[in-house]
């Protein structure tokens, strides 16, 4: 398995404000898989993703990425893990407003010695004609494409997506999902996608459902459909 998670637990607060968010999560994701993580608000989806990304510490358990333990990493070693392995895409684009599309992408390009081709990425994501525009000159979908390009430029092994279509209308959501599908096919990028949208599970290889901090379903999808054919986005 490329991602191996064993009995991870995560809590916040203490005393009367103590809450256990993850209550012993164990699962695995193979290299090149697209995996969706679903569940109601408060089920632990984003916390789970943040633990994989090294943004949150776990209380106990093991997380191995590409056969390397990340639980317990601190400081420079944790920064190296994120730089060398991960790309992040969030619901809110977090673009630098006074940088152009190209310059926003270059912020992450400089973090790696083996970046993807800037021009190829701009073409794949349909951003070539917008490369010299500022975020304020772009639509929401174009801004999300820029955020995706920024995450991908350093050719991450694992792409973590937290509600990547949450702020978009249905047509733009479909366009973004088609792009993620294409990226997975072209670059073989392993993806973990947190979403409230129940339709997205139909386009991925693997679906994990969380309920009250535990896995309620964990299965492989034998009837995948193309992102372009998804309904009710």
Tell me: the pLDDT tens digits for 86-144? 999 988 888 999 999 999 999 999 888 889 999 989 998 899 999 999 999 999 999 99
**Predicted pLDDT of residue 124:** 86
**Predicted pLDDT of residue 16:** 83
DSSP 94-142: ---TTS-HHHHHHHHHTT-SSPPPHHHHHHHTT-GGGTT--GGGS-HHH
Superfamily of domain 33-57+75-229: P-loop containing nucleotide triphosphate hydrolases (3.40.50.300)
Across residues 218-226, what is the average pLDDT?
Answer: 95
Is pLDDT above 90 for 158? yes
Using a 10 angstrom Cβ sphere, with 0-12 exposed, 13-18 middle and 19 or more buried, the burial of residue 156 is buried
Tell me: the pLDDT tens digits for 10-44? 999 988 899 999 999 999 999 999 999 999 999 99
Phi first, then psi, for residue 139 (nearest 5°) are: -75, 170
Structure tokens at 46: 């984003």
Tell me: the pLDDT tens digits for 32-86? 999 999 999 999 999 999 999 999 999 999 999 999 999 999 999 999 999 999 9
Instruction: State the chain's mean pLDDT as an integer.
Output: 94
pLDDT category of residue 172 using cuts at 50, 70 and 90: confident
**Predicted pLDDT of residue 14:** 87
Hey, what long-range contacts does 91-96 have (CB within 8 A, 24 or more apart)? 91/162, 91/163, 91/164, 91/166, 91/167, 92/167, 93/135, 93/143, 93/144, 93/146, 93/147, 94/147, 95/135, 95/143, 95/146, 95/147, 95/150, 96/135
**Predicted pLDDT of residue 148:** 92
Of the chain, the end-to-end C-alpha distance in Å amounts to: 30
pTM: 0.92
Distance (Å, whole) CA 45 – CA 70 = 19
- Domain ranges within the chain, ordered by starting residue: 33-57+75-229
């Amino acid at each position: 398995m490329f991602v191996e998670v064993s009995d991870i637990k995560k809590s916040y607060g203490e005393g009367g404000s103590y809450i256990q968010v993850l209550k012993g999560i164990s699962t695995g994701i193979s290299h090149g898989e697209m995996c969706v993580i679903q569940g109601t608000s408060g089920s632990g989806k984003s916390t789970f993703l943040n633990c994989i990304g090294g943004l949150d510490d776990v209380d106990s358990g093991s997380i191995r990425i590409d056969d390397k333990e990340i639980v317990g990493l601190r400081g420079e070693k944790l920064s190296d893990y994120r730089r060398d392995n991960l790309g992040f895409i969030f619901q809110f684009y977090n673009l630098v407003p006074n940088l152009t599309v190209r310059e926003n992408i270059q912020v992450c390009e400089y973090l790696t010695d083996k970046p993807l081709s800037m021009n190829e990425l701009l073409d794949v994501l349909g951003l070539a004609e917008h490369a010299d525009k500022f975020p304020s000159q772009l639509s929401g979908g174009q801004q999300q494409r820029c955020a995706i390009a920024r995450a991908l430029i350093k050719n991450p092994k694992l792409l973590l997506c937290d509600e990547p279509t949450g702020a978009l209308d249905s047509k733009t959501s479909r366009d973004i999902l088609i792009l993620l599908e294409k990226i997975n096919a072209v670059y073989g990028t392993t993806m973990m996608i947190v979403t409230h949208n129940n339709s997205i599970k139909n386009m991925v290889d693997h679906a994990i459902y969380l309920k009250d901090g535990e896995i309620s379903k964990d299965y492989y999808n034998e009837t995948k459909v193309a992102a372009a054919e998804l309904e009710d986005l």
